Amino acid sequence: MKKFNIQKFNIAAAAVAALSAAVVGLAAPAAAAPTGSDAQATIAALEREGHRVIVHRLSDTPLREASVVGVNRGPAIRDTVRDFRNDRTYQNTITGYVYYVNVR
């Protein structure tokens, strides 16, 4: 009878968790704005969710007429969050992301 190796099990479980997180993380930008959508609406939606948006203009088209060519999620925005209900403070909490929106 073979002996159960807990170390190998922990490594495998960590790998599965990391891959799952990567799949979810990569799906977020695609859901945020499909290409070809209205640039102003996409930017407004991202800002409404608390994200910072950096617009890369790929043409001289006015923003109200521009279409989204691509959306890339950048680094996390971290801040201190106060929980008044439980009288706690959480530092270095992700409160949003920087999004790079390419428009044409």
Q: Kindly report, residue by residue over 65-83, the tens digit of the pLDDT.
A: 999 999 999 999 999 999 9
Q: Which of 29, 100, 36 is nearest to 68 (CA)?
A: 36
Q: Which of 36, 71, 78, 41 is nearest to 55 (CA)?
A: 71
Supply the range of the domain harboring residue 74: 6-103
Could you give the 3-state DSSP secondary structure of residue 15? Answer: helix
Counting the structural domains of the chain, the total is 1
In-domain check, residue 1: no
Taking the C-alpha atoms of residue 15 and residue 21, their distance in angstroms, rounded to an integer, is: 10
Place of tokens 């945020």: 32
In-domain check, residue 26: yes
Statement: residue 10 has pLDDT above 60: no
Are the beta carbons of 39 and 67 closer than 8 angstroms? Answer: yes
Confidence of residue 37 (pLDDT cuts 50, 70, 90): confident
In-domain check, residue 28: yes
pTM of the predicted protein model: 0.64
